[in-house]
Protein backbone atom coordinates (compact mmCIF):
# COMPACT_ATOMS: atom_id res chain seq x y z
CA UNK A 1 0.00 0.00 0.00
CA UNK A 2 1.29 3.44 -0.89
CA UNK A 3 0.58 6.81 0.59
CA UNK A 4 0.27 10.12 -1.18
CA UNK A 5 0.43 13.35 0.82
CA UNK A 6 -1.18 16.61 -0.22
CA UNK A 7 -0.23 19.66 1.81
CA UNK A 8 -2.31 22.81 1.45
CA UNK A 9 -1.26 26.23 2.73
CA UNK A 10 -2.83 29.66 2.48
CA UNK A 11 -0.82 31.79 0.05
CA UNK A 12 1.63 34.13 1.83
CA UNK A 13 -0.39 37.25 0.94
CA UNK A 14 -3.62 35.85 2.46
CA UNK A 15 -4.21 36.76 6.10
CA UNK A 16 -4.13 33.69 8.37
CA UNK A 17 -5.88 34.68 11.61
CA UNK A 18 -5.83 31.06 12.87
CA UNK A 19 -2.06 30.86 12.52
CA UNK A 20 -1.73 34.27 14.16
CA UNK A 21 -3.85 33.16 17.13
CA UNK A 22 -1.67 30.07 17.56
CA UNK A 23 1.44 32.25 17.24
CA UNK A 24 0.20 34.55 19.99
CA UNK A 25 -0.66 31.65 22.32
CA UNK A 26 2.78 30.00 22.12
CA UNK A 27 4.69 32.61 24.20
CA UNK A 28 1.93 32.52 26.81
CA UNK A 29 2.85 28.85 27.29
CA UNK A 30 6.54 29.68 27.60
CA UNK A 31 7.46 28.77 23.99
CA UNK A 32 9.38 31.74 22.68
CA UNK A 33 10.88 30.30 19.49
CA UNK A 34 8.23 31.37 16.97
CA UNK A 35 8.53 34.54 14.91
CA UNK A 36 5.31 33.70 13.10
CA UNK A 37 2.99 30.73 12.60
CA UNK A 38 0.87 29.80 9.60
CA UNK A 39 -1.59 26.94 9.70
CA UNK A 40 -2.39 24.59 6.84
CA UNK A 41 -3.94 21.22 5.99
CA UNK A 42 -2.42 17.82 5.30
CA UNK A 43 -4.26 15.06 3.44
CA UNK A 44 -2.96 11.47 3.69
CA UNK A 45 -4.30 9.42 0.80
CA UNK A 46 -3.82 5.65 0.86
CA UNK A 47 -3.64 3.92 -2.50
CA UNK A 48 -3.22 0.31 -3.62
CA UNK A 49 0.40 -0.40 -4.51
CA UNK A 50 3.07 2.11 -5.38
CA UNK A 51 1.69 5.38 -6.78
CA UNK A 52 2.05 5.53 -10.56
CA UNK A 53 2.77 8.76 -12.50
CA UNK A 54 -0.81 8.61 -13.84
CA UNK A 55 -2.19 8.34 -10.30
CA UNK A 56 -0.04 11.27 -9.15
CA UNK A 57 -1.30 13.32 -12.07
CA UNK A 58 -4.84 12.53 -10.96
CA UNK A 59 -4.07 13.54 -7.36
CA UNK A 60 -2.56 16.77 -8.68
CA UNK A 61 -5.81 17.42 -10.57
CA UNK A 62 -7.94 16.66 -7.49
CA UNK A 63 -5.79 19.01 -5.42
CA UNK A 64 -6.11 21.76 -8.02
CA UNK A 65 -9.90 21.36 -8.39
CA UNK A 66 -11.00 20.35 -4.92
CA UNK A 67 -8.53 19.84 -2.07
CA UNK A 68 -7.12 23.36 -2.46
CA UNK A 69 -8.80 26.57 -3.55
CA UNK A 70 -6.06 28.05 -5.69
CA UNK A 71 -7.59 31.52 -5.36
CA UNK A 72 -6.24 31.61 -1.80
CA UNK A 73 -4.18 28.43 -1.31
CA UNK A 74 -1.17 26.63 -2.74
CA UNK A 75 -0.48 22.88 -2.50
CA UNK A 76 2.26 20.28 -2.86
CA UNK A 77 1.82 16.59 -3.68
CA UNK A 78 4.35 14.13 -2.24
CA UNK A 79 4.74 10.37 -2.06
CA UNK A 80 5.44 9.00 1.40
CA UNK A 81 7.98 6.19 1.43
Partner 1 sequence: MRVGVVTFPGTLDDRDAARAVEYAGAEPVSLWHGSDDLKHVDAVVLPGGFSYGDYLRCGAISAKAPIMKSIIVAAEHGFPVLGICNGFQVLAEAHLLPGALTRNADMHFLCTDQTLKIENNSTMWTNGFTLGQEILIPMKNAEGNFNCDDATLHELESEGRVIARYVGVNPNGSRDAIAGITNKRGNVVGLMPHPEHAIDLLTGPSKDGLTFFTSLLHSMIAG
Q: Is residue 18 at the binding interface for partner 1, with CB under 8 A as the rule?
A: yes
Q: Is residue 52 at the binding interface for partner 1, with CB under 8 A as the rule?
A: no
Q: Is residue 9 at the binding interface for partner 1, with CB under 8 A as the rule?
A: no
Q: Is residue 66 at the binding interface for partner 1, with CB under 8 A as the rule?
A: yes
**Rg (the chain; Cα; Å):** 16
**Do 1 and 44 form a contact (C-beta atoms < 8 A)?**
no
Using left for φ > 0, alpha for ψ between -120 and 50, and beta otherwise, residue 30 falls in: left
Using the rule CB under 8 A, give the single segment among 27-35, 45-53, 62-70 that binds partner 1.
Answer: 62-70
DSSP string of 37-76, one letter each residue: ---EEEEEEEESSSPPHHHHHHHHHHIIIIIS-TTTEEEE
Q: Is residue 26 at the binding interface for partner 1, with CB under 8 A as the rule?
A: no
How many chain residues bind partner 1 (CB under 8 A)?
12
By CB under 8 A, name the binding residues for partner 1.
Answer: 10, 14-18, 21, 66-67, 69, 71-72
Amino acid sequence: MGKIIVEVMLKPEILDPQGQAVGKALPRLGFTFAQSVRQGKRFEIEVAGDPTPAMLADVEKAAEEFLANTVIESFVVKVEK
